[in-house]
Chain A
Amino acid sequence: MSGPVHAALAGDPVLAEHYAAFRAKAESALNPRLVALIRQAIAAVHGMEAAAIDDAALDERTRVCVAYARRIPFEHTAITDPEAASVVAHLGEPGFVAFSVVAALADAECRAGLVDLEGLAGV
């Protein structure tokens, strides 16, 4: 497990393990490549170091999901019912639930990194 939140919890291994388990369960419910693309797309929106995604190389289903993920950091209240429905159509309801958790966590983790949570926690 990597990331600023898990790292910051080094002094509380039980809580760190619970956090790692939650993130791992959410991510394991999706295709690993899609998880990587979600995290990559959201990191790029935050201006963090992330390789550019070649949208043209993605299949339609993945392109829809990546476009949706890019809306999470700053436009989550503007996402429309049709946008959400298109992701549900591609992933199914259980997949959409996992996707929503993974994308929201990826956004929050980027933000935790941007405030240097690890440094503040003395790690």
Chain B
Amino acid sequence: MSTIPRVSSAIAGEPAHFGSVLAHQPEISASFFALYGRFWGSDVLAARLKEVARMRNARVTECGFCRNVRFDKAVAQGLGEEVVDDITDGYEASARLTDAEKAVLKFTDALIHDPELLNRDARAALQRHLTPAQIAELGLGVTLFLALAKALITMGLEPDAMERTVLPTPAVLEAAE
């Protein structure tokens, strides 16, 4: 996996990172950030559950950038590092993760890794804990997390090293509405 950018920054004076590289395509960039802000701004599915899925994707997909970013909305909803530490193989046995979070993790694993993991029991658990609207939003989220991680990695935008960083949760820009 390359940590040398395969695309240059399109913003003068800024290093190559996801935003500065995506700026090569301003319309794609604007539509992505509008979508991502709308997704995170929706409370149909709690930000904590979205972040649990995002953390799992980061680990399975090997996205170091994603793995070291935390969104503040989920942190405020109690997603501390002791819980994040359990989002690893064997999470089924965690005493810190809730049953709903484990159902979300199983769905995430099925989507990003192996659809066979979503067997009848896992499917029933997901539907017991989440409404259809919440599952739709989760499906969108995992789709975006996976695609974003793979785009980052294949464009060589993985950091050599990165501190854990809490960022403001993406939000809808009022001017874009």
Contacts and interface: CB of A to CB of B under 8 A. Distances in A.
A107 B154 CA distance: 13
A100 interface: yes
A108 B147 contact: yes
Nearest to A6: B140
Contacts of A121: 132-133, 135-136, 139
A12 B133 contact: yes
B42 interface: yes
Interface of chain B: mostly helix, strand, loop or mixed: helix
Given A22-B31, A77-B1, A115-B107, A108 B146 contact: yes
Interface string B9-41: 010000000000110110110111011001100
Given A81-B2, A93-B7, A111-B115, A104 B139 contact: no
B155 interface: yes
A12 B44 contact: yes
Contacts of A72: 150, 154
Interface string A108-123: 1101101101001111
A50 interface: no
Question: Which of B25, B61, B133 counts the most A-chain CB atoms under 10 A from its CB?
Answer: B25
Interface stretch (A13-21, A33-41, A54-62): A13-21
B151 A100 contact: yes
Nearest to A72: B150
Contacts of B140: 5, 8-9, 15, 19
Interface of B: 1-2, 4, 6-8, 10, 21-22, 24-25, 27-28, 30-32, 34-35, 38-39, 42, 44, 61-62, 107, 110-112, 115, 118, 123, 126-127, 132-133, 135-137, 139-140, 142-144, 146-148, 150-151, 153-156
